[in-house]
Amino acid sequence: MASTQKNIQIPLSLFKEIVEFVEYMDNSCLDTAFAAMCGSILAGLRAKQDSMALREHYADIVHAMDDDKRHNARMRYLEMKRLYKP
């Protein structure tokens, strides 16, 4: 049976706290495998943050009130997309 990845929902405030916790956690005294796991978790959390930020910038395009604002929002989105690209 093939396993499919499922997502869960957590409050945004909790997500931010988790990211902050993992970012500032001192892993210098951890063994190599556990430190690598923490690094992998942090990379996944940062990828999710990037995805959320891009979604917000895209929403700015969709909800823009006029063509100028839509164009500016699109330019910001494209700029951010280049920055967040791995």
* Domain residue limits, the chain: 12-22+29-84
- What is the share, in percent, of the chain residues with pLDDT greater than 70? 95
Q: What pLDDT sits at residue 26?
A: 82
pLDDT tens, 62-71?
999 999 999 9
- The model's confidence at residue 86, banded by pLDDT at 50, 70 and 90, is low
pTM of the model: 0.76
List Cα–Cα distances, 66 to 32, 73, 74, 80, in angstroms: 53, 11, 12, 21
pLDDT tens, 4-43?
889 889 999 999 999 999 988 887 888 888 888 988 999 9
- 86 Cβ contact partners less than 8 Å away, ≥ 6 residues apart: 47
